[in-house]
Every structure is written in structure tokens, then in C-alpha cells.
Amino acid sequence: MLGKIFSVVAASCLLLAGAANAQGKAELLWYSQAAFKLTTPGGKVIMIDPWIMGATKIPPELKDLSKIGKVDLILVTHGHGDHLGDAMEISKTNNVPIWAPAGLNQTLATLGLMPANLVPRMNKGGTIEPFPGVKITQVHAEHSSEMILKDPVTGKDTSFSAGEPVGFIIQLENGLFGDMKMIGEYYKPDLLLVPIGGHYVMDPKDAAYATKELIKPKMAMPMHYASNPFLKGTPAEYKAAMGQTSIEVLDMNPGDKKTF
């Protein structure tokens, strides 16, 4: 089902919905691909699928993990390298947890690559409240999930299980991020972050369908494209597939920020 692929793609297809009693504004920084830095209205910093150092489209001035600043929590949707990315280093540097598929975190702990306290287990359907007013729910996604890591014993690159891919619904102090058609119907989101590259994720045509028919946000931002030769979809193709619509398509480049 397209709505589920949408959440899988785990490229973190996220939604933002405003609340009536907003305390402030959230800020979203797009690094490239599916990597985002979300600063909540209360000042908490959440890194999402932080593939930074190996990414090809990130502005040079952002390719420095020390410049990220303080981080309070990391979310990883699945084990692929362009999503797990630099999560382990960022987690250890800031002494903050990675919330990811249970199998992914279990593997990192079992291999001794991460201390158990920084890779807590969470499962689909579960909700945590890491900060006052912020709730994160892990939801189902249709995709694959495996990690290529150095085997601690042999030192060779080895494929390890990373559990089942997931999506996240993130309720902020003044609103909500999320995925899946139900979120569109229930929360009537303002912003949709939608992957358009094709091959591994939705192509522009399918992404436009998901945007207009399943989610129906006020605004949409295309992402997860052009980082490798297989991700051929373009924002121009997505806009064309959207056709005449009241939904505003945001033009953002890697390194741009948007506040809400």
C-alpha cells in the first residue's frame, strides 16, 4: 500500500501539524537525503537519520559533526548506511540515546559497538516521552533494513540484521510530526516531507499521489533524491505530477532552514 511505503521509505516521511496553543516555533534544518535537525519549540534538538559525513549533497560548511551543536535525541528509521549514517558517533559524543528499530539497537549492543544505555529497545506501537510535551511513537513501515558494519572479530565489512524498518510520529510541544495516511486524516498536517527519488523510494508520480490523495497537507517538501545514480526523480517532476493544486511545494536546498 502506498501509504505504508511512504512511511517506510523511512527516509522519514514526516508531517507537521500546528497546535492551537503553540508555545513557539519549530525549526527544521535539511542536510540532504533524509537527514534533518529538528529543534523543538522548547529547544530540544532531535537528529533524524543523520547521514552527514558520507553524503554527497550536503554543503561543505555543514560536513562537520562538531558544528551540529548539542543534540538531545537521535531517531533512525532503518539500518541502511544513508540513514544510520553518523548516528553512533553523534550519540557517543553527546551521550544521548538512539531510538531505532529494536533489532537494530540490539545488534549494535550485542556487537559491542554501542553501550546498551544509548541504544534502548523500542517497538512499533510504543510511545516514549523523552522530554516534557514531546512524544514519539514508532509505527509500521514497509522496506528493508540491514547494516554493513565492521565485524568486531574479523574486522571485515559484514551484513548484520537491523530489525524491521519503522516510521516515527513525533508530537512536539506545539504540534506533531508523523507519517501514514491516518495522520493526514486525523491531524490534518501542515507540512509533508516526501521522498521522490524512485528505485528505493517513491518516484515523483507516486509521491505526488501520496501527497494529494493520502496526506493532503498544506505544504510539501520533496527530499531523498539525487544522492546516487538510482535516485533520478527531481523536484521539477514532482511539481509537474502535482499539477494544479492548493498544496504549496517548498523549494529547499541542502542546508536550508524552515521555521513553523
* 95-109 pLDDT, tens digit each: 999 999 999 999 999
CB-based contact 138:124 (threshold 8 Å)? yes
Q: What is the DSSP letter of 200?
A: T
| Local confidence band at 169 (pLDDT 50, 70, 90 cut-offs) | confident
- Distances in Å between the alpha carbon of 250 and those of 29, 139, 206, 240, 257? 13, 26, 18, 14, 11
* pLDDT exceeds cutoff 60 at 8: no
Task: Give the burial string for 90-120 (b: 16+ CB within 10 Å, else e).
Answer: bbeebebbbbbbbbbbbbbbebebbeeebbe
- DSSP 8-state symbol, 210: I
- Helix, strand or coil, per DSSP, at residue 6: helix
> Residue 200 to residues 4, 6, 40, 226: CA-CA distances in angstroms?
14, 11, 30, 12
**Hey, is 135 helix, strand or coil?**
strand
Rounded to an integer, what distance in angstroms lies between the CA atom of residue 48 and that of residue 94? 15
| Cα–Cα distance measured from residue 197 to residue 225, given in angstroms and rounded to the nearest whole number | 4
pLDDT of 194 reads: 85
- Portion of the chain with pLDDT greater than 90, in percent: 50
- Residue range 131-152: average pLDDT? 84
Average pLDDT, the chain: 84
pLDDT tens string 12-41: 445 444 443 345 788 989 999 999 999 999
Tell me the CA end-to-end span of the chain in Å, nearest whole number. 30
Contact 175, 260 (CB under 8 A): yes
Calculate mean pLDDT across residues 136-142.
80
Task: Indicate whether 177 pLDDT > 60.
Answer: no
pLDDT at 52 over 60: yes
At residue 198 the predicted structure's pLDDT band, cuts being 50, 70 and 90, is: confident
Average pLDDT over residues 51-69: 92
Pure H helices in the chain: 2-8, 81-84, 87-94, 102-110, 181-187, 204-209, 235-242
Of the two residues 180 and 111, the one the predictor is more confident about is: 111
Query: What is the reported pLDDT for 3?
Result: 29
Predicted structure pTM score:
0.78
- What's the confidence (pLDDT) of residue 24? 73
